[in-house]
Amino acid sequence: MDTSKRMQLLAVFAAGTALFAAGCGESRNTTVGQKVDNAADKVAAATDRAADKTAAAVSKAGDKMDDASITAKVKTALMAEPGLKSLDINVDTRDNNVTLAGTVSSAELKQKAAQIAQQVEGVKSVSDQLVIKPS
């Protein structure tokens, strides 16, 4: 179910619940108009909370997509570098911070892999956990 349908369903559910609640528990001195106003306020509050949660979820999903994109770009750049066995290098990205793990055959290739990762657009930092394992 897409987000807009979910929001509509939530709004309808909240409106029904609020209208039901408006008829229950109110004093007999409360007018129908006041009950409707109270119900509308409850629906608005529920809709605002749902919208906030949806916005947070969309933002989080966007962050994950950015991390996946950065990981793919780093892997692609590493594959293009002669001498680097990119299958021996694991790239993990969290909050635009890249971690390189695995093995390389020299200190020069270790340094080169970190440089390549750092130059990828969107990378904030690189944690180099590569191990030198001569071939």
pLDDT, tens only, 36-92: 777 777 777 777 777 777 777 666 655 555 888 999 999 999 998 888 887 899 999
Report pLDDT for 38: 77
Torsion sign, CA atoms 17, 19, 20, 24: positive
Per the model's pLDDT, the better-predicted residue between 42 and 130 turns out to be 130
Gyration radius of the chain's alpha carbons: 27
Burial 6-19 (b: 16+ CB within 10 A, else e): eeeebbeebbeebb
Pairing type for strands 89-94 and 97-104 reads antiparallel
User: How far is the C-alpha of 116 from the C-alpha of 126, rounded, in Å?
Assistant: 10
Report pLDDT for 40: 75
pLDDT tens-digit map of 4-19: 666 676 666 766 666 5
Pairing type for strands 97-104 and 125-132 reads parallel
Residues 96, 123 contacting (CB under 8 angstroms): yes
